[in-house]
Amino acid sequence: MKLVTGNDLVSGDVIWWTGSGWSRFIADAVDSGTEGEAIGKREEAALRVNGPYVVEAADGPFAPVPLHIKERIRASGPTVRTDLGVQAEKQH
C-alpha cells in the first residue's frame, strides 16, 4: 500500500491523501497505487499541500500502518507530548 503524505500549508500539520482531499488522520488515508507521485505534484502545484511524498504502509486493524518508524510517529503526533497533536484528539 502506498500513501501520500505532506504538511498542511496553514497549520503545518501532517496530512494524508484521502482520495478526494486531505485529512489529519491516517485512518482516512487511501492507497494511491502507482499515482502517488502524480497526486503529490498536482496537489502541491495547486497549493493544497507542502512537501508531499509517498510512503509504504500495510493494512492495520483500524488504519493503515506506515512501515517506517518516522512515518508512524508523524501519523500519531509528538512522542514527548501526548497532549498535543492528533493523539490528543483521539483521547477525547
> Which residues does 54 contact at the CB level (< 8 Å), separation at least 6?
2, 3, 4, 32, 36, 37, 40
Q: What residues does each domain of the chain span?
A: 2-91
Query: What mean pLDDT value characterizes the chain?
Result: 91
| pLDDT tens for each residue of 48-86 | 999 999 999 999 999 999 999 999 989 987 767 667 667
pTM of the model: 0.86
Residue-level pLDDT at 76: 85
Q: How far apart (Å, rounded) are the C-alpha atoms in residues 82 and 63? A: 19
